[in-house]
Structure formats: C-alpha cells, structure tokens
Amino acid sequence: MSASENSSAPDVDPQTLARLAGGLAHELKNPLSTIGLHLSLMAEDWHGEHGVKARRTAKTVGILQHEVERLNGILEDFLRYARTDSLETHCGSLNLVVEQVERFATPEAKRHGIHLRSYLDMSLPEFNMDRGRLRQALLNLIINARQAMEKRRSGSISLITRRDGPWAIVEVMDDGPGMDETTLARCFEVYFSTKGGGSGLGMAIVRRIVEAHHGTMEVQSTLGKGTQVTLRLPLNLENQVG
C-alpha cells in the first residue's frame, strides 16, 4: 500500500513536526561534537610532525574539521528554523533592537570595508515582540548583505525604521550586487543558497520569524544596484506602553 492510500495514518501538526525535527538535530549535534573533539586531539598529535605522511594527515584532519564546523552551522540554522513558531513576546522598542544589532554587526562590517548605519524614527511606539527573534532576523539580513559585498570590500548597509499606520516598518538596504530575477524568485526557498557552504535557511528563518509576529516581508532587488528587504510588523497598539 502506498503512503497516499493509507488513510489511517495520522496527520502531524507543524508544531509537533518542528519538535521532532529539533530533537533530531540535537541528536545529530552530539556525535558531531564527539567527532570534532577527536579531530582536535588528532590535530594536536600531529602538530609539529614533519614528513609527507604528517602533512597529508594534518591536511585531511583540517578538511574534516572544516566539514564538521559546516555541518554544525547547518544544524544550528535548522534548529533556529524549527523553533521560530514559538515566540516569547514582551513590549519593547524596535529602535533598540536595531541599535543592538548595529553595534554587534559593525566591527565585522568594517573589517570588510562596509559601512553600516541606521536611520531611526524616534516617534515609533513600543509594541509586543520577541526581541531575540527579531535581532536574529535582522542579523541574518545584515550577514546576507555583507557577504554579498565582501568580494568588493566596499559598500553600505542601511537600517531604517518608520511607522506606516498600524505597522512598524524596518528596512535593510544595501548597495551590493543585487539579485537577478531567478535568484530573487527563489530566495525564500528552504536550502536554496548562492553561497558555497551556505545552509540556505537564512531568508527562510527571517520570513518565519516575521510571520510568527503576524507581519509580512518583501524583497526588492536589482542586479548591479542592490537589495531592499522590508519587514512590516503589527504595532498592537492596544498593548502599547505609554
């Protein structure tokens, strides 16, 4: 009997599926950590050794360590993706979230010759949000923009907040290489990435976080001119402080 014919199979709700996936990712992280630890011990054993065999072994260990780190990164992104359905909301300031992200991301941006700046609407009221999730979403967008401009080692990323009626708006704009129509159409696809070694979950995580806040997300991009990502978040004025 095929799966489609098995009418007695119970449906799995998205939250249960997310918990199962998150549990699986945790189980995978444990053996990966063990492998990483033993590779580190092997690297120490071969450190300072000479000869063709030693160099070949050290190179192989280095490659395996890099792959373990890459897999850990993919699992971390997957866990973030699986957890975005549950929010811990409190009344907070979107401007403060943007300022925190800017301070955190500025040193790395400067290292790559990229100028990060913010333009904040100081009249924007506080509203219910999960500040940690929104920081994560904005940081993902900044990292995407920065990585797109790293080869050029120049450019700017702007963070803008404003109000549009019952919505709080935050925009992330860059003057990087932009995306062609095919890449733009696929940018939200899970596991789609134009970067070597990327997990392909960055934009999908951002969209899930925004949608969990009952907001919307829009991406506009022009090849050779840059990209603008607009997040619209409901203000929930009935819960507003002040």
Domains of the chain, by residue range, sit at 14-83, 90-239
- What is the distance, to the nearest Å, from the Cα of residue 208 to the centroid of all Cα atoms in its chain? 11
What kind of fold does domain 90-239 have according to CATH? Answer: Heat Shock Protein 90 (3.30.565)
Contact yes or no for 63/55 (Cβ under 8 A): no
Residues of the chain scoring pLDDT < 70: 1-26, 77-86, 190-201, 237-242
How many CA atoms, within 13 angstroms, populate the side-chain half-sphere of residue 12?
8
Q: What are phi and psi of 153, to 5 degrees?
A: 55, 40
Q: What is the pLDDT of residue 159?
A: 96
Q: What is the pLDDT of residue 194?
A: 59
Q: What is the pLDDT of residue 11?
A: 47
Q: What is the pLDDT of residue 6?
A: 38
**Cα gap 178→180, rounded to integer Å:** 7
Q: What is the pLDDT of residue 162?
A: 96
Phi-psi region of 102 (alpha: psi -120 to 50; beta: other; left: phi over 0): alpha
Q: What is the pLDDT of residue 87?
A: 76
